[in-house]
A and B are shown apart, each in its own frame.
Chain A
Amino acid sequence: MELISPAELAKEKVLTVQDYFLFCLQAMANLFRKPLYFADMIQQADAIGVGSLPIVVLTGFFTGAVLALQASNTLERFGSITLVGQLVSTSMVRELGPVLTSLMIAGRNSSGMASELGSMVVTEQIDAMRALGTDPMKKLVTPRVVATVFMLFFLTIISDLVGLLGGLAIAKLLLHLDARQYWYYAYQTLVFQDVFMGLIKPVIFGFIIATVGCFYGMNARGGTQGVGRATTQAMVAASVLILAMDLIVTRFLMATLSYH
């Protein structure tokens, strides 16, 4: 294996970041250029949104449930076990709902997009598409970005709701709390800033998932091995970017929304 100097490696990484930003700009600019592939957007929305529903529901439910269980232990020491609903609600809506849903969708779809597009690259289907007069960025990338952003928004709402139900199941069955009291605290504790923060994140994360997956797929080289590498890289990069962006977005929103 050839060794690369640190300077070369740094240059390569900077160039990749530059290419990624140009790729994102092009994907967004295509929204304002004809043709817009609506049928492909709907098809992708079905594959990404409806197809991911089972894992999102399961993840949301178990996260809410385990959150309630963990919280009960601590809250019981302070005699505040009735606040379980409040804790599950704020944690799910502000943080765990968007982040865990995005990580699950990244695992399923970012890698899926990279492998699908990567296979098309190495079998010359992307070249064939260009040869047939179609812009692959418009036909393949932009519909995936739009569909992921749109569907992740709604999947996060479903995940939040199912997470609250998971918490309710634990509160009712194991902690023997009153269901109406649980819902009252869960609902009353939420303020506009919580909901806004929880719903702006999936839009950003959805964009990251789709663009990273498509970027690695469209740049796959080196046959089936290259496709495998692109798939792994896409999932890892998307997951790390989601967690990094989560910190930045949370800090930014807490500052701008006057969070206390």
Chain B
Amino acid sequence: MSAPTLPLDSATTSSNDISAPVIVFEDVAMSFGDNEVLRGVSFHLPRGETKAIFGVAGSGKSLILKLALGLIRPDSGRIVVLGEDVTQMPEEQLFELRGKIGMVFQESALFDSLTVRENVAYRLMEEHGVYDENIDRRVREALRFVELEHTLDLNPSELSGGMRRRVAIARAIITQPELLLYDSPTGGLDPVTSNTIIELIVKQRDVNKTSALLVTHRLQDAFTMATRQFDKQNNRMIALPPGQHCDVPMSFLVLRDGKVIFDGDLHNLADSQDEYIQEYIS
């Protein structure tokens, strides 16, 4: 199943247009030397939706996130993020755009010379210069969201892998970005900690309605997200009955040999007749 393409004009009209997709990839290609990693990748991410990207190691999943953030430029094709064509933007303008995007890196990428407080406050400190009461309140709020308020003055080296991922999530969401990019947020973590991280991502999706791209190797994580919703009153994730799975703003994208071979929701994925996909999800 090939990815539906969307006219770029509708995506580039305005970042405030709620009907416009948050991300549009159109025929994006990228090579490293002789290695063609992406070969004409096209997809779009509607506002408020979370799209999980699957693929074997080296299939270009993380590369898609870096391309969306403008950290790397593609060899060809166009990428529109929040109404802006990031393939054409100079680095100075990209810094402004990145203010509306949060990213959680594969290995957390916390600044190891800064404390948890300074890591989470980093973006606000860059904007305002001084660590004041308002920043402190927002840092505590973000850390409370990931249930790590007690780690404020610890260094990243003093945290476990799961805690570092949660601090990275707090750092990404502190400015309430319009778009979140998660790069293997549960990679290398035990099932219990993975579940905590997934619950936080679902909480961010359902409570703050943030659009997100999620790269993962773990199919079960994405299935958990597609079949559960966050119950704000009880502050926990609850399973939905099978008939309500379509209500969850969640879709899947599968990459193979640098191309999108599937882009659709949970039911489309389960019903797919593609042998590779059937093998992948079995």
Contact = CB atoms under 8 A, between A and B. Distances in A.
Interface of A: 123-125, 127-135
B97 to A, nearest CB: 9
Contact of A133 (B105, B106, B110, B126): B126
A118 B92 CA distance: 23
A124 B109 contact: yes
B186 to A, nearest CB: 17
A69 B69 CA distance: 63
B96 A131 contact: no
A224 B106 CA distance: 17
B95 A128 contact: no
Contacts of A130: 69, 71, 95, 98
B71 A133 contact: no
A204 to B, nearest CB: 29
Interface string B108-140: 011110000000001100100000000000000
A131 B98 contact: yes
Given A124-B105, A131-B71, 20 more contacts: A123-B107, A124-B109, A125-B110, A125-B111, A127-B66, A128-B110, A128-B111, A130-B95, A130-B98, A131-B101, A131-B105, A132-B122, A132-B126, A132-B171, A133-B95, A133-B99, A133-B126, A134-B126, A135-B91, A135-B92
14 contacts: A123-B112, A124-B106, A124-B107, A125-B109, A125-B111, A127-B105, A128-B109, A130-B69, A131-B71, A131-B98, A132-B126, A133-B95, A133-B96, A133-B99
B255 interface: no
A127 B109 CA distance: 8
Nearest to A119: B112
Size band of the interface chain B makes with A: 20 to 34
Contact of A125 (B66, B95, B101, B112): B112
- Please classify the interface of chain B as helix (H, G, I), strand (E, B), loop, or mixed, using the class held by over half of its residues: mixed
A128 B98 contact: no
Contacts of B122: 132, 134
The 6 A-B residue pairs whose C-beta atoms are closest, nearest first, are: A128-B109, A124-B109, A131-B103, A133-B95, A133-B98, A133-B99
A2 to B, nearest CB: 12
B14 to A, nearest CB: 21
A127 to B, nearest CB: 6
A130 B91 CA distance: 9
Kindly name the residue among B96, B103, B109, B171 whose own CB sees the greatest number of chain A CB atoms within 10 A. Answer: B109
Interface string B86-104: 0000011001101101010
Contacts of B69: 130-131
Kindly name the residue among A123, A131, A134 whose own CB sees the greatest number of chain B CB atoms within 10 A. Answer: A131
